[in-house]
Amino acid sequence: MREIRPRRIHRLLTRAARLISVLLAVPAIAQPFSPEESRAQIQIEDGFKIEVFAAEPDVVDPVAITFDENGAVYVAEMREMEVLPALEPGTQATIRRLEDRDGDGRIERSTVFATGLSFPSGLAPYKGGLFAMCTPDLLYLKDTDGDGRADERRVVLAGFGQGNAEHRFNNLAWGLDNWLHSANGHGGGKVKDPSRADAPTVDLSGRDLRIQPSDGSYEAEARQLPGGFGLAFDQWGRKFVSQNETHVMHVVLAERYVARNPYLAVSAMGEDISDHGQPDAPVFPISRPQAWRIERTSRRAAKEADKFRPSQLQVSGYFTAACGVTAYLAELFPESHRGSLFVCDAAHNLVHRDTLSEVGASLRASRPDRETEFLRSTDSWFRPVNLHLGPDGALYLLDFYREIIETAASIPEDILAKLDLRAGADRGRIYRIVPDSHREPYRPPMLGGLTSEDLVAKLADGNAWVRLTAQRLLLEREARET
């Protein structure tokens, strides 16, 4: 009888275990659920509840949301996320305006504010209109005739990079410095104001961007970290970004400070601040891995193991699609959660929470809960991609709701041929997260009609959305008398 060596036995057992895990862990192709059915599969931390705020057909493929000073809700729909830009330019995306007309906290009306857009990934109100990051351009859109559609469309900056959809410039956020900021998803670009012949060209390779709408100036903000999808500021104006495996990065220094000394050599201006994995912090999903993902991981382990970190050779259990980092800066949540950073992982169908503590000139992000998450779902189509603090102090979660969240560039061609990247393209959800005891529906804040004196009083509000909106309105009015 032929002797079987221990090493061979180990290999055979490993392969058998892998096959058994596929057969046991992965069911037939998972089917989509209705918004309420999917919501019911979400496990959220005790003391909180999650409500459906909007869903298809009123919204599909949501990736960014904003509220204007009177509480109008605008959502960017990235309808071509899965398309390779080199093969088919993106011009089918839409920005929608959502309305809750009966005050029940649920959207009943959805209208198209702007369409024919390219990969919209960030929105910010300004002077009755919206800035919209639609690479390769930053646009300004405004409805000037009151019909609910943007009839003014102006290119503010042109020249943003057009790589993989998830690597483009994304998110727009007002800072305490009164500038509008955007995150570099690793796409870079060389941008310029096309309306001015003498406008400077700014190289955004490895850099974020900030814009001053009042005078049209713009400049690079150095980061020198891997780019991703997500941008947040805390109550002190400290900046955070997220990127796939590195779920929380603190941008410690801005380029404008370092540039004052041309002889100062700085190797990096930001750092991974997680104390529970740098990169690849563990996560604890309750959804089952998809069959194609198991196959891709098996191939990596068998043929290219030396090209990947150990965590990347695991099917699940570590951050792989971190995005949408957001700081909770309001008083509706318990005090224990104020100032926390929330980060989505779209591949693992969950939202993670970190608390912050100061360490020297930087910070540390720590997991407050062991072997669980703030929010997680058994529905593998649930794809949280972004978060946003609302005027009411609630946290709004954008669910892209797709069978496959990866772009075509991330999947081997033969596996890709068996998948439908458009599955779920007619779906999308926005959820509202509030304490379990909270009973009030969303109500528009109506700050636009306040006097400048009243807006000054709002600068002390406990909700950062209210403070920043009041600050923006005072600047728009040039209310020097106050």
* DSSP string across 125-182: EETTEEEEEETTEEEEEE-SSSSSS--EEEEEEEEE--SSGGGS-EEEEE-TTS-EEE
The lowest-confidence range among 88-92, 204-208, 232-236 is: 88-92
Mean pLDDT value across residues 184-211: 94
What pLDDT, on the 0 to 100 scale, is given for residue 23? 43
Q: Parallel, antiparallel, or unpaired for β 170-174 and 180-183?
A: antiparallel
| More confident call, 416 vs 10 | 416
Mean pLDDT value across residues 121-126: 98
What pLDDT, on the 0 to 100 scale, is given for residue 27? 38
Widest pairwise Cα distance in the chain:
97
Confidence of residue 449 (pLDDT cuts 50, 70, 90): very high
* Domain presence at residue 4: no
What pLDDT, on the 0 to 100 scale, is given for residue 256? 83
* Domain presence at residue 20: no
Q: Report helix, strand or coil for 350.
A: strand
* Domain presence at residue 1: no
What pLDDT, on the 0 to 100 scale, is given for residue 85? 44
Q: Are residues 474 and 386 located together in one domain of the fold?
A: no
Residue 234 has pLDDT above 60, yes or no: yes
Confidence of residue 30 (pLDDT cuts 50, 70, 90): confident
Q: Are residues 463 and 412 located together in one domain of the fold?
A: no
Q: How many domains does the chain have?
A: 2
471 token code pair? 């600050």
Range of the domain at 461: 447-482
Q: Are residues 347 and 476 located together in one domain of the fold?
A: no
| Cα dihedral 82→122→161→304 (10° resolution) | -50
Is 42 in contact with 382 (CB distance < 8 Å)? yes
Confidence of residue 89 (pLDDT cuts 50, 70, 90): low
Q: Are residues 158 and 216 located together in one domain of the fold?
A: yes
User: Cα angle at 321 between 14 and 98, to 5 degrees?
Assistant: 140
Confidence of residue 92 (pLDDT cuts 50, 70, 90): confident
Q: Are residues 354 and 473 located together in one domain of the fold?
A: no
Q: Are residues 147 and 203 located together in one domain of the fold?
A: yes
Residue 308 has pLDDT above 70, yes or no: yes
284 token code pair? 């604890």
Q: Are residues 260 and 400 located together in one domain of the fold?
A: yes
145 token code pair? 């005739």
Cα(191)–Cα(217) distance, integer angstroms: 12
Mean pLDDT value across residues 89-95: 76
Confidence of residue 226 (pLDDT cuts 50, 70, 90): low
Is 72 in contact with 56 (CB distance < 8 Å)? no
Q: Are residues 164 and 278 located together in one domain of the fold?
A: yes
Q: What is the pLDDT of residues 129-139, one digit of tens each?
A: 999 999 999 99
The rounded mean pLDDT for the chain is: 90
* Domain presence at residue 7: no
Q: Are residues 214 and 171 located together in one domain of the fold?
A: yes
CATH of the domain at 347: 2.120.10.30
Mean pLDDT value across residues 347-374: 96
* Domain presence at residue 23: no
Confidence of residue 44 (pLDDT cuts 50, 70, 90): very high
Q: What is the pLDDT of residues 363-400, one digit of tens each?
A: 999 999 889 999 999 999 999 999 999 999 999 999 99
Cα(337)–Cα(360) distance, integer angstroms: 23
* Domain presence at residue 10: no
What pLDDT, on the 0 to 100 scale, is given for residue 452? 97
What pLDDT, on the 0 to 100 scale, is given for residue 421? 87
Q: What is the pLDDT of residues 409-443, one digit of tens each?
A: 788 889 888 998 889 999 999 999 999 999 999 98
Q: What is the pLDDT of residues 326-338, one digit of tens each?
A: 999 999 999 999 9
Q: What is the pLDDT of residues 150-167, one digit of tens each?
A: 999 999 999 999 877 777
State the residue for tokens 């209310």.
479
The lowest-confidence range among 5-9, 25-29, 206-210, 439-443 is: 25-29
Q: What is the pTM of this model?
A: 0.91
Confidence of residue 279 (pLDDT cuts 50, 70, 90): confident
| More confident call, 141 vs 421 | 141
* Domain presence at residue 390: yes
The lowest-confidence range among 28-37, 190-199, 361-370 is: 28-37
Residue 86 has pLDDT above 50, yes or no: no
* Domain presence at residue 11: no
Mean pLDDT value across residues 59-74: 97
| More confident call, 198 vs 480 | 198
| More confident call, 106 vs 32 | 32
Q: Are residues 254 and 302 located together in one domain of the fold?
A: yes
55 token code pair? 């869903």
Mean pLDDT value across residues 441-447: 92
Residue 313 has pLDDT above 70, yes or no: yes
What pLDDT, on the 0 to 100 scale, is given for residue 13? 42
Phi, psi of 362 (to 5 degrees): -125, -155
Which residues contact residue 166 at a Cβ distance below 8 angstroms, ignoring those fewer than 6 apart? Answer: 81, 185, 228, 229, 323, 407
Q: Are residues 438 and 423 located together in one domain of the fold?
A: yes
Which residues contact residue 321 at a Cβ distance below 8 angstroms, ignoring those fewer than 6 apart? Answer: 244, 344, 345, 346, 347, 348, 405
Residue 1 has pLDDT above 50, yes or no: no
Q: What percent of the chain has pLDDT over 90?
A: 68
Which residues contact residue 94 at a Cβ distance below 8 angstroms, ignoring those fewer than 6 apart? Answer: 76, 77, 79, 112, 114, 115, 117, 120
Q: Are residues 457 and 413 located together in one domain of the fold?
A: no
